[in-house]
Amino acid sequence: MGKPTGFIEYGRKEAKAVSPKVRIKDYNEFHKPLSEEEQRCQSSRCMDCGVPFCQWGMNIKGMTSGCPLNNLIPEWNDLVYTGNWEQAYNRLHKTSNFPEFTSRVCPALCEKACTCGLNGEAVCTKENEMAIIEHAYANGFAGPKPPQVRTGKRIAVVGSGPAGLAVADQLNTRGHSVTVYERADRIGGLLRYGIPNMKLEKHIIDRKLDVMSKEGVEFVTSANVGENVKAKKLMEEFDAVVLACGAANPRDIQAPGRDAAGIYFAVDFLSATTKSLLDSDLKDNKYISAKDKNVIVIGGGDTGNDCVGTCIRHGCKSVTQLEMMPKAPDERAEDNPWPQWPKVCKTDYGQEEAIAVFGHDPRVYTTTVKEFKKDKKGNLEKVVTVQLAFERDEKTGRNVMKQIEGSEKELPCELVLIAAGFLGAQKYVADAFGVELDERTNVKTAEGAYATNVLGVFTAGDMHTGQSLVVKAIRQGRDCAREVDEYLMGYTNL
């Protein structure tokens, strides 16, 4: 601990965000990093508290507390404070393959478990992480480091999201030869097309992919395994196959009028915008436009927020975000103490922008869609919403949601985006490899393991556990790579 009084001397200072009405004019990242001196002061706030909850990554009451990657946070915070940037990068990279991604899109589970946050403000760990990785690229620490010896073993990784890329990075470091197959036209999975550019600019992904390519990882795009690439061929040509295709089945909303034109899944909406942005700076018009439309987003999570922010950049007429659950409290409840994940209301960037543009929070709680109304041509023109209430089911003892009669409202709407989450693996991929699915339609393995029922075929990430966080997908990828390595070599040093 370099500065025992750092957390007393310095208050929390975050990177300044560009004002909402300015940043909505483009799709660029909008936080201006602190100076090196300011960042070192922020790192000095880390207490090295002896029991670093920030890095333990354990579940409390079903929610993760601390970093799932077990990042050595007090160590590299101290190294940043003392100006030892190269060693800080080495300690960070020891546990994290992609700090350039997590420092931008992770909800900072580490900070929610920070001891400073018990009676004050948490250390800016996420921003310190970004400072380390950006400093590493700027000074050549994060450049290619190809393995000195190759094992002769070949692995195919199906899917290039965070789990698949983590598997590939780890196994390549070990000396195995890895080929990554991606069905889209660009590598990155949901990092590329599911997360908007303003949260993760795509040149950040390309920068890391360039390093991985120079280290020996091969990437194949437009390769839809199970369709235009045969699963049997991969199993014959490679010593192991890892399925990391994500949870790609979007949860639907069934209501009368669902067939109206103008209703889309959020992932299709976000993907189309990003692809058009990358291909032509949106000049090709090959995306689902929200311009001059009344938009309703169904879903109150991060993806729903991303839809709100994207619609505002399109120039929507209005945007409303429906959330089935009640509004969370603004501060921790007594039954939600530190270091549990704080179940509090968070106003994210998209909601901030909606407030700035339209003068009010776009979120409407305990509400869902009861009916979609269309015009004579079949186009969506209105939505009927209904309020929900939780009632206790006497038979099961569970709380169930029921519609409140007489609470219906009719809203003008030409575009609906369904951001209600995802359900399990896509069946055609599982069937192509003959792997079993569990009751939640995720690829089935033994508890805590990654090997499927098919010899030599493994799985990791959302395809294995269901929809989750980027940081958890990376952890799954690392753990899966270790199991694959042991399967191939009889031991592992990963």
**127-170 confidence digits (pLDDT tens):** 999 999 999 999 999 999 999 999 999 999 999 999 999 999 99
Q: What is the pLDDT of residue 82?
A: 95
* Residue 255 falls inside a structural domain: no
Cis peptide before 99 (omega within 30 of 0): no
* Residue 146 falls inside a structural domain: no
205-208 LR contacts (CB < 8 Å, sep 24+): 205/101, 207/100, 207/137, 208/98, 208/100, 208/101
Those residues with Cβ within 8 angstroms of residue 32's Cβ, 6 or more apart along the chain or in another chain:
15, 16, 17, 18
Q: Are residues 170 and 303 in the same domain?
A: no
More confident residue, 294 or 397: 294
Tally Cβ neighbours within 10 Å of residue 206. 14
Total number of residues shown for the chain? 494
| CATH, residue 470 | 3.50.50.60
57's tokens? 């990554």
Mean per-residue pLDDT, 257-262: 98
Checking if the pLDDT of 397 tops 90, the result is no
Q: Are residues 306 and 405 in the same domain?
A: yes
* Residue 231 falls inside a structural domain: yes
Mean per-residue pLDDT, 296-312: 97
Q: Are residues 410 and 274 in the same domain?
A: yes
Mean per-residue pLDDT, 171-190: 98
Q: Distance between alpha carbon 98 and the CA centroid of its chain, in Å?
A: 12
Q: What are phi and psi of 431, to 5 degrees?
A: -65, -35
Instruction: Please give the share of the chain, as a percent, with pLDDT higher than 70.
Output: 100
Q: Are residues 201 and 162 in the same domain?
A: yes
Q: Are residues 186 and 228 in the same domain?
A: yes
* Residue 381 falls inside a structural domain: yes
* Residue 144 falls inside a structural domain: no
- Report the relative pairing of strands 263-265 and 415-418 from DSSP bridges: parallel
For residue 2, name the pLDDT band (cuts at 50, 70, 90): low
Q: Are residues 338 and 388 in the same domain?
A: yes
Mean per-residue pLDDT, 168-194: 98
- Report the relative pairing of strands 380-392 and 409-412 from DSSP bridges: antiparallel
In sequence order, which ranges of 361-458 are alpha helices (DSSP H)? 427-433
282's tokens? 């949106």
Q: What is the CA radius of gyration of the chain?
A: 23
* Residue 256 falls inside a structural domain: no
Q: Are residues 394 and 276 in the same domain?
A: yes
Q: Are residues 38 and 123 in the same domain?
A: yes
Q: Are residues 22 and 101 in the same domain?
A: yes
Strands (E), 304-379: 318-322, 363-364, 367-374
Overall number of domains in the chain: 3
Mean per-residue pLDDT, 20-35: 97
Last residue of a domain, one of 418, 433, 463: 418
Q: What angle do CA 87, 109, 170 make, to 5 degrees?
A: 50
Q: Are residues 352 and 429 in the same domain?
A: no
The continuous run of DSSP H or E covering 39 comes out as helix 36-43
Q: Report how far residue 255's alpha carbon sits from residue 374's, in angstroms, rounded to the nearest whole number.
A: 13
Q: Are residues 289 and 396 in the same domain?
A: yes
| CATH, residue 127 | 1.10.1060.10
Checking if the pLDDT of 478 tops 70, the result is yes
Q: What does each C-alpha distance from 466 to 101, 422, 462 come to in angstroms?
A: 20, 8, 4
* Residue 149 falls inside a structural domain: no
Q: Report how far residue 492's alpha carbon sits from residue 487's, in angstroms, rounded to the nearest whole number.
A: 9
Q: Are residues 277 and 221 in the same domain?
A: no
Q: Whole domain around residue 170: which residue ranges?
A: 154-248+423-489
Q: What is the pLDDT of residue 135?
A: 97
Q: Report how far residue 219's alpha carbon sits from residue 164's, in angstroms, rounded to the nearest whole number.
A: 11
Helices then strands (H, E): number in the chain? 19, 18
Residue type, 64: T
Give the burial class of 22: count Cβ atoms within 10 A of its Cβ; 0-12 exposed, 13-18 middle, 19 or more buried.
exposed
Last residue of a domain, one of 355, 385, 418: 418
* Torsion 444-449-450-451 (CA) sign: negative
Last residue of a domain, one of 394, 418, 442: 418
Mean per-residue pLDDT, 269-290: 98
Q: Report how far residue 394's alpha carbon sits from residue 392's, in angstroms, rounded to the nearest whole number.
A: 6
The continuous run of DSSP H or E covering 356 comes out as helix 349-358
* Residue 478 falls inside a structural domain: yes
